[in-house]
Amino acid sequence: MNQKHLLIINAGSSSLKLTLATLPNYTVLAAFLAERLGADTPTLTQKAPQSACTPLSTGSSHQQALEACLERLQEQGLLTHEPDAVGHRVVHGGESFTDSALIDEQIITAIDTCSTLAPLHNPANLAGIRAIQTLYPDCPQVAVFDTAFHQSLPQAAYHYAVPRTLYEEHGVRRYGFHGTSHRWILQQASEWLNQAPERTAIISAHLGNGCSVTAVHEGQSVDTSMGLTPLEGLVMGTRSGDVDPGLFDFLLRRGYGAQAIHDMLNRESGLLGLSGVSHDMRTLTKAAADGHEQADLAVNVFCFRLARYIGAMMASLDRLDALVFTGGIGENSATVRQRTLAHLGIFGIAVDETANNQTETDTATSIQASGGPPVLVIPTDEEQMIALDTQRLTNARRTT
């Protein structure tokens, strides 16, 4: 079977990640990260194969960054022809998308409509789509939505207790995010359990700079910690997670502006706000081990909130086949896993300290002590999930 060359694009508000991979035998040929787009000092780093960070032209756009990546690929002989397809991570699909979709003008309009729900992300995602349309007009493109996996949430899980007109007129409800990662983890966990995904019940904890927990029952998302926006739920790198909604009014009355509160909760809170040191868990766990009290507090709050949400997710399940840690923190921080699991003994969950400290692997690793439900560490691979969806939908397109 011929190898297909796919581009996988994740366009952020001021960044662009690009991966070149092949299928059906998934292999990453190259990966790039462009940062600070639109600013005075944009840069481009090739992550695989690794190379030094290089500056881009001042104020470079998503299209210019994409062109720079493609030029590198051509110089290196890695992309000598038009890609067979392009897959895009799109943050918000609202209620319009329950699956990934082949991109056409109707899909683009729907993504644009959802921009009111994700004003920092969807316009950037569209910029990546438009850039590919300009460079490769005939190349098929696929949108893979963060929210699609969570469209199976029951009404009791996605409605807020606010006037119904907010939902009917403005789409105010819980949507959930990180769906591509949680879906990948479901597939990997069910394979480890040797059972079909549609017969699997897990709790998946995606822990990185952004964090979310999802309960999956019989292969479907039935509850998740993020809501209308990615701000709800767990403590994150710079996001507060859950706070009393009255905090907004409290701060307004003390002279804070709406934008200042928004920036505070999204960019100055979470691990960074609690510790006053860093939003990086590696830095914080080292500082905590060295006796830094605020760093230790930040780690403890993070782990307690995570354990509390894991416990809450149990209400959506009739059994637990496995609890899974993933994402940069979930995969790499033995301290976070140990402190979190210490709160969950009531569920019969306990950690094997030796196994917990030896999880640097590309495959699923079990870290629970004997007895109780399995606790797994599984590396996430959102890019591969996007590539597989892109292949599935473009193959279906060719056969119709």
Question: What tens-digit pLDDT sequence spans the chain (400 residues)?
Answer: 588 999 999 988 788 999 999 999 999 999 999 998 888 899 999 999 998 899 999 989 888 999 999 999 999 999 999 999 999 999 999 999 999 999 999 999 999 999 988 888 899 899 999 999 999 999 999 999 999 999 999 999 999 999 999 999 999 999 999 999 999 999 999 999 999 999 999 999 999 999 999 999 999 999 999 999 999 999 999 999 999 999 999 999 999 999 999 999 999 999 999 999 999 999 999 999 999 999 999 999 999 999 999 999 999 999 999 999 999 999 999 999 999 999 999 999 989 999 999 877 788 999 999 888 899 999 999 999 999 999 999 987 766 6
Compute the Cα dihedral for 232, 237, 239, 240 and give only its sign: positive
Which strand ranges, in their side-by-side order, compose the sheet holding 141-145? 54-55, 43-48, 27-35, 16-23, 4-11, 85-90, 141-145, 101-102
Identify the structural domains of the chain with CATH numbers, from first to last: 4-145 (3.30.420.40), 195-382 (3.30.420.40)
Scanning the structure block, which residue is given the tokens 């003008």?
A: 105
The H-or-E segment that residue 122 falls in is helix 122-135
* 301's tokens: 């709050």
- What distance in Å separates the CA atoms of residue 154 and residue 322, rounded to the nearest whole number? 22
Catalytic residue set: 146
Angle ∠(146,149,155) on CA atoms, nearest 5: 115
Q: Which residues contact 25 (CB under 8 A, 6 or more apart)?
A: 3
Looking at residue 120, its pLDDT comes to 80
Number of helices (H) and strands (E) in the chain: give both, helices first: 15, 14
Name the pTM for this structure: 0.94
Tally of residues, the chain: 400
DSSP state string for 293-351: HHHHHHHHHHHHHHHHHHHHHGGG-S--SEEEEEHHHHHH-HHHHHHHHTT-GGGT--B
What are residue 15's phi and psi, to 5 degrees? -145, 165
* 397's tokens: 């397109």
Tell me the one-letter amino acid at 80: T
